[in-house]
Structure 1
Amino acid sequence: MMHTTLHWSNQVTLLFDSWNTKSWPTYALALLICFLVAVFYQRLEAMRLHLKSAANPSPPSLNTPLIVPKLGRNWKIRLGLAALFGLNSGIGYLIMLAIMSYNGGVLLAVVLGLTVGYFVFRSEDFSEGEDSFVAAETNNSCACS
């Protein structure tokens, strides 16, 4: 049965029909997996932003044209950034679908995982001040960007 309101039960189906919990140990394992995936999401986002800031250490100025041909420059870095972005987006959408099970425990596990992951891997992004390029990039709370 699919719930359309938030419920607090140890019986939940996550992402696939075969991934369902019927007891407290399987429910706790599912919550742990949701927590770890959310932490991993923040780790990948930190890696992507670090690679992006390393590839472009200076922020764009007002004199920088809006359309700049970039096909020949740093294609390996751009390919890596694109791959990390795609992987991170996919994980973000899977996290969103897990939350759409409307289970309160899953919601709390994901939010706690995102919070812990942000604290461990990304809270140093703001150490350089609000004017830094990385700080401007990380000021987004959406789990799917």
Structure 2
Amino acid sequence: MNDMSGHGNGMAAAPTTMNSTGMMHRHKMMMHMTFFWGKNTEVLFDGWPGKNNTGMYVVALIFVFVMSALVEWLSHSRIIKPGASNVAAGLIQTFMHAIRVGVAYMAMLAVMSFNGGIFLASIAGHSFGFLVFASRVFRKTEIPYSVKTSDLPPMACSC
């Protein structure tokens, strides 16, 4: 039995429309609503990476990894030099915040494809970014214990 409704299989039901002759047509627009594994998925853009295209799926995984690492870099970078004017510093902070929020939302939307590989690439990118840009592994000096509030930086920008 071929159930086109999508009910019970973790996918959204396909919408039905009527054409100019009055005939009903069912569109094949199925979207996963649960995590799944495989390279046949859509991430961020219509038709990308495409069906049966392993190379583009790998590019999508790398893209999500880099986006997630970029979020961590923007969250932990110090670009504004001490002594900069308040106006210039404020504009730079605002620009960096806008970029960080935009990239973070793009990473979140990629994860909302419910593809397991994309989810793992995002987690790996955030972890790698944190390791390189925020952990003690590459820090030359340790922050004094009296100044630290926790081992993890806050999720909100405290810039």
Match of 1:76 in 2: 88
TM-score of the aligned structures, taking structure 2 as reference length = 0.66
CA distance in 1, matches of 2:37, 2:142: 39
CA deviations over 1:34-53 (Å, ceiling 9, x no partner)? 11111122112222xx2479
> What do the CA deviations read for 1:82-121 (whole angstroms, capped 9, x no partner)?
1100110010011100000000000000000000010001
Where does 1:1-145 land on structure 2 (aligned, <5 Å)? Answer: 1-22=30-51, 23-47=53-77, 50-51=78-79, 54=82, 74-124=86-136, 127-132=142-147, 138-140=153-155
C-alpha distance 81-130 of structure 1, shift in aligned 2 (>3 A): farther
Gap change, CA 1:19 and 1:79, over 3 Å in 2: same
Q: Distance in 1 between matches of 2:111 and 2:79?
A: 29
The one-letter code sitting in structure 2 at the alignment partner of 1:105 is G
Separation in 2 of the partners of 1:103 and 1:83? 31
| Structure with greater Cα Rg | 2
Aligned pairs, number = 123
Runs of 4+ with >6 A deviation: 133-137
Change (3 A) 1:54 1:112: farther
How far apart are the structure 1 equivalents of 2:104 and 2:89?
22
User: CA, structure 1 residues 21+43, in 2 after alignment: closer, same or farther (shift >3 Å)?
Assistant: same
Counterpart Cα distance in 2 of 1:92 and 1:7: 22
Cα displacement (A) at 1:20:
2.8
How far apart, CA to CA, are the structure 2 residues paired with 1:119 and 1:53? 23
Gaps of 5+ in 1: 56-72
TM-score by length of 1: 0.72
Q: Distance in 2 between matches of 1:85 and 1:92?
A: 10
Structure number with higher relative contact order (C-alpha < 8 Å, ≥ 6 residues apart)? 1
Deviations for 1:7-45, whole angstroms, at most 9, x for unmatched residues? 001011111104233222221111011111111221122
